[in-house]
Structure 1
């Protein structure tokens, strides 16, 4: 099986679906992580280029911890991703190049604009990727499903919970590779409560989901199609 996580920023894959990716990698599945941006707005007192270089290196190290065989960066500007046909076709190209069975990405209801736009682009590109007359460097592909992850909101209510018990430390270590971002978020603060202690906050949220579903720790998803729920596990 091939999984493709398309995320807005370095560290998003680790935070939202790191346990799931590591679990599938250990099963022998192919794991790819595509970052829309390099997260160049996530820092203080330096240049965007310097931040981008640091965050790319961190994301590559975290990808190795999770077992990803491919870690890419799509070149969209951090904080400025726009919805357009051109950008949608760019994501079609990304999906076709990976030819995944399953796609993991952001849920549409999210405070961060990059997360919201990424959700729209990926969802619409998912449909277009299978159309033979959509031109690209790769042939059509037809992934089985898209799974959306997100922060707790009024509308994000996961219906699929993946047991990541035993992967908590590996997920925490992957998040910890984003050393510059962990420090930035803790100093930035005030937007999301978990930023006060990012790694512990994510672990607590996973533990809460796990308690609700009878396991030690879990990550939650909303599938685009109910028919393919069983493929992610």
Structure 2
């Protein structure tokens, strides 16, 4: 599928609530405005987040699910799913591959967004172990699991037909090759991020830093100094 063509359906797979909003919510807003049906899949509930939290992990998990649903609503996403894996303890397991492949076969997306499975040694924050495990399991779920009728026989028992995802967009990829101008939807991205009140304090400082980073992305992508952009590494997986 040509990059400039909007897909009919897209699936965003991230490790934690708020990961999509930091990395790609602006892009998602442009897709939903164009009529793309977008689904979110969060591998964990993010119950280990929140430095100043009160209550137990179950309370935090419920809070973060609600925050993610609201953030998704802001950018036009109605289908938000959670796998409930333990926050901070993800590994690129066969079980996680199967569970992502199950959702791929259910949603049948033409495009996916996942974290890069490669560690970034120049900027460590995006390389949280849960992000890396989600990226590794996600790409393996795309190829070969979701398209292979003999992978994970239990999915066939659930009458889920194989599905080939032709295109994967990596966030924090090692070789960025596509920049999306989100200038016109930046307020929606910021509103989505502000939904994560349990995780983000001092939002004005965060917003300023993000606008600066998004501006640098736009310049790197040749979009101009007055624009804001999110960046991806697009991988042909057809």
TM range (shorter): 0.7 to 0.9
TM-score (norm 2): 0.84
Instruction: Give 1:94 deviation, angstroms.
Output: 1.4
Instruction: Give 1:174 deviation, angstroms.
Output: 0.5
- Residue 132 (structure 1) aligned with residue 149 (structure 2): yes
Give the match's secondary structure for 1:126.
helix
- Residue 98 (structure 1) aligned with residue 107 (structure 2): yes
Q: CA RMSD in A?
A: 1.8
- Residue 142 (structure 1) aligned with residue 158 (structure 2): no
- Residue 178 (structure 1) aligned with residue 196 (structure 2): yes
User: 1:162-189: CA deviations, max 9, x gaps?
Assistant: 1112011110000001111113xx6xxx
- Residue 200 (structure 1) aligned with residue 208 (structure 2): yes
Task: State the partner residue of 1:3.
Answer: 10
Greater helix fraction, Structure 1 or Structure 2:
1
Q: Distance in 2 between matches of 1:130 and 1:199?
A: 40
Task: State the partner residue of 1:223.
Answer: 234
**Structure 1 stretch displaced more, 14-23 or 85-94:** 85-94
Instruction: Give 1:199 deviation, angstroms.
Output: 2.8
Task: State the partner residue of 1:32.
Answer: 39
Q: Distance in 1 between matches of 2:60 and 2:205?
A: 21
| Mapping of residues 84-123 of structure 1, within 5 Å | 84-108=93-117, 109=119, 110-123=126-139
Q: Distance in 1 between matches of 2:206 and 2:14?
A: 18
Give the match's secondary structure for 2:104.
helix
User: 1:183-223: CA deviations, max 9, x gaps?
Assistant: 3xx6xxxxxxxx99333322221111112222401111112
Q: Distance in 1 between matches of 2:57 and 2:195?
A: 19
> Which stretches in structure 1 are left out of the alignment for 5+ residues?
187-194, 229-233
TM-score (norm 1): 0.86
